[in-house]
Amino acid sequence: MCVLDVTGVYRHLAHRAEQAGATIVTAANVIAPIRDGKAVAGCVYRHNGVDCEIRSSLVIDAGGYKAAFSKAAGLHPGFERFGVGAEQEFIAPRCRQDEALLIVGSRYAPAGYGWVFPWGSSRVRVGVGILHADSTANPRKHLATFLKDAGDVGVDLRGATVVEDHFGLIPSDGLPDRLVHDGIIAVGDAAGQPSLVVGEGIRLSILAGQMAGSVAAEAVTKRSFKASHLQSYETEFRKRYALELRIGYMVNRRMAQWADDEWDDKVRLAAEFPASLMAELLQSQFSVGRILGFLATRPLMWPRAIRYAVKGALQLLGA
């Protein structure tokens, strides 16, 4: 899983882009696409109260969960189901740095989960994410409860100080029908790419960004920005990730409905899994070989595994 110093990464990427000749405009709000027929041909943005234009052969929408640019450009209709997350970063000198914690159940995260992610130098992020549409609970309220109880689940926040506050949304509808059109590519949350078992978006946004960057560079070389030339990004992304994202989406929909006793049962089951397999499943990586290898050593789990496999296959086929 991926925990980032967001500002640091933005600065690092901006520095590399400037070194490669890019112009970075900060505090600019993109407000509309520029069209040339059906193709996207740039954008209008507001900067210091002034509307400005950038004409370009290709726009990459990396604008996050609102997908406002992709919607306005007619690429896809945006998203309706979101995970809503509240998170605080602490300097917590007593908190363990060698253990990440996920917590489930109605007290802390109805239709979602809570987390404690340490990430070095006494820093730790504690948060709660709740799937809206499946629950209307307020993640900030549940985070407060979780922080109050943290000591009961072995998270030592004594002497901790809050250094950052994060609140935001993550699209939880799965991939839209299209990720490219003439003059436009969507990546990251704007393309519905987070893996939904635990609402993890950074890793796939970075991978998709790299793929989009390669295809964009090729398009510049060939001077062709038609959807047919940009399609290789979408084809490659879907080939690598669409199935696992689809399964992750189905798992996410089911988990959002589990009551506490069902969670107790599933957590007991998960405790049987080797840590490496568990880590893969949390990343929506469902390797049939690895799962079968594990099940081969657990005959008592076969009836349940077969039930899940049949249900899952029927859902995938019906989808």
Ligand X SMILES: Cc1cc2nc3c(=O)[nH]c(=O)nc-3n(C[C@H](O)[C@H](O)[C@H](O)COP(=O)(O)OP(=O)(O)OC[C@H]3O[C@@H](n4cnc5c(N)ncnc54)[C@H](O)[C@@H]3O)c2cc1C
- Note the residues at the interface with ligand X (CB under 6 A): 2-3, 28-30, 62-64, 66, 68, 85, 87, 117, 127, 166, 168-170, 188-190, 194, 200-203, 205
- Nearest approach in angstroms of CB 132 to ligand X is 12
Instruction: Tell me the residue number closest to ligand X, measured at CB.
Output: 201
Degrees to nearest 5, angle at CA 37 with 211 and 66? 50
- Nearest approach in angstroms of CB 208 to ligand X is 8
Nearer to ligand X, 25 or 271 (CB): 25
Nearer to ligand X, 100 or 250 (CB): 100
- Nearest approach in angstroms of CB 293 to ligand X is 27
Nearer to ligand X, 201 or 248 (CB): 201
Distance between CA 17 and CA 21 in Å, rounded?
6
- Nearest approach in angstroms of CB 150 to ligand X is 17
- Nearest approach in angstroms of CB 10 to ligand X is 7
Nearer to ligand X, 1 or 301 (CB): 1
Nearer to ligand X, 45 or 273 (CB): 45
- Nearest approach in angstroms of CB 237 to ligand X is 13
Nearer to ligand X, 91 or 202 (CB): 202
- Nearest approach in angstroms of CB 21 to ligand X is 21
Nearer to ligand X, 172 or 246 (CB): 172
DSSP character string of the chain:
-----HHHHHHHHHHHHHHTT-----SEEEEEEEEETTEEEEEEEEETTEEEEEE-S-EEE---TT-HHHHHTTS----S-EEEEEEEEEE-TTS-SS--EEEEETTTEEEEEEEEEE-STTEEEEEEEEEETTB---HHHHHHHHHHHGGGGT---TT-EEEEEEEEEEE-S---S-SEETTEEE-GGGGT--BTTTTB-HHHHHHHHHHHHHHHHHHHHHT--SHHHHHHHHHHHIIIIIHHHHHHHHHHHHHTT--HHHHHHHHHHHTTS-HHHHHHHHTT---HHHHHHHHHT-GGGHHHHHHHHHHHHHHHHH-
